[in-house]
Copies of this chain bind each other. A is one copy, B any other.
Amino acid sequence: MIILDYNDRRPLYEQIVDKISNLILKGILKPGDKMPSVRNLAMELAINPNTIQRAYGELEHRGYIYSVKGRGNFVSHSESLIQKKQEETCWRLQDVISEAKTYGIREEKIAKIVKTIYEGGEKDD
């Protein structure tokens, strides 16, 4: 379900946070679902439980999951999260498009990219 990239310069725990929060935002992990236990996921990914712990801590901090001692971690019943993600994505869009303009990429080129993505297919990291 999660694949770590050891060439990625970002820390492992951050990769995990990203991957899992995406799974939640996309609805693959649903509110109330039980997350894999810290130790299990650590084994599965062949990394130290502390690293998972940290990722889960961050996810809890950001409101994606909540933990119940002695029971496990669960996906939270978040609502506004998807909205927040959308806003953030809009900011990034503006950044990249401004950059594109600065370096002389033509407006039509962007339109074309948008079109191929929204019509054709997918691309799902």
Residues of B within 8 A of A82 (CB): 103-104
Assembled-state Cα–Cα distance A61/B110 (Å): 30
Which of chain B's residues has its CB closest to A124's CB?
B102
Residues of B within 8 A of A104 (CB): 82, 86
CB distance from A46 to the nearest CB of B (A): 12
B93 x A113 contact (CB < 8 A): yes
Query: Count of chain A residues with Cβ under 8 Å from any Cβ of B?
Result: 41
Which of chain B's residues has its CB closest to A22's CB?
B102
Is A1's beta carbon under 8 Å from chain B?
Answer: no
B93 x A26 contact (CB < 8 A): no
Residues of B within 8 A of A117 (CB): 94, 97-98, 101
B89 x A113 contact (CB < 8 A): no
With A11-B69, A94-B113 as known contacts, state yes or no: A85 contacts B103, CB within 8 Å.
yes
Is A43's beta carbon under 8 Å from chain B?
Answer: no
Q: Which of B98, B105, B111 contacts A86 (CB 8 A)?
A: B105
